Amino acid sequence: MENYLEYTKVFKALGDPKRAMIVDMLSCGELCACMILEKFEMSQSTLSHHMKLLCECGFVKGRNEGKWTYYSLDAETINKTKQFFCDITSEKENCICKEDGNCCKGCDENE
Amino acid sequence: MENYLEYTKVFKALGDPKRAMIVDMLSCGELCACMILEKFEMSQSTLSHHMKLLCECGFVKGRNEGKWTYYSLDAETINKTKQFFCDITSEKENCICKEDGNCCKGCDENE
DNA sequence: ATGTTAAATCGAAAAGTGTCAATATGATAT
DNA sequence: ATATCATATTGACACTTTTCGATTTAACAT
């Protein structure tokens, strides 16, 4: 599990309310940048910056058509991220809490 | 769905590799702060700061016992976060992409 | 009482982020 | 060719975050 950096990039991207809203907007189909822009009070350059972050982590894909750019969610990255979230939050074998001397109180008591 | 701020706090907390690792460590049981500290090259005050962020968003719970603090994951927040993630990434009714004039190309063509 | 230990808080430095206006790029229309 | 339009990039600014060393707090232990 050395994907920490890969997926924390995704979480960081989702860690901004406006970007989370954009993801929500894209959840039922692709949208043109100008359509997204309409729904926010935000400059065009700021939106472009947010879309760049969402794309760089793989969560969103951009597609050019003429002078427009259409954005949509990337299903594979979504599923992998969900899996990563489950991985780091669910119990597993060989975890640290099962090692000897993992508990400060216990350590003291064994002395 | 006005929980954007609430859950983006969680995502922001998970958006740091070290914090994601801490969550992973806690996934199979509670651990004392000093035990977590042992596993990282990080000052004690830095760890304390990371734990504060993880607790403030509700993802982690702290419990004092004598001079120690034990941390563990909060199952309810985990489940709610998972649900929020699914909500914003899955198709829903009445979404923007189904409105009229949602597509720049179409808008132009209709003129 | 005094010292020790675990953890939190404070203050500061460095790095990163969100935002905008201005400019650049690239496609299309005239 | 030239103008227009959608988007990306740049540069600047304020704000936030990460990190550390130093200090404080609270709980034991002697």
% of chain A beyond a pLDDT of 90: 77
Between residues A110 and A47, which one has the greater pLDDT? A47
Tokens of B32: 């004392």
Taking only the tens place, the pLDDT of each residue in B35-73 is 999 999 999 999 999 999 999 999 999 999 999 999 999
For the purposes of burial, counting CB atoms within 10 Å of the CB of B95, is it exposed (0-12), middle (13-18) or buried (19 or more)?
A: middle
| Across A13-33, average pLDDT | 96
Q: Do A8 and B30 touch (CB under 8 A)?
A: no
Average of per-residue pLDDT across A38-51: 96
Q: How confident is the model at residue A109 (pLDDT cuts 50, 70, 90)?
A: very low
- Average pLDDT estimate for A6-10: 96
Q: Measured CA to C1', what is the nucleotide nearest A49?
A: D8
| CATH class of residue range A4-109 | mainly alpha
Separation between Cα atoms, residue A66 and residue B69, nearest integer Å: 58
Q: Is A31 on the interface with B (CB under 8 A)?
A: yes
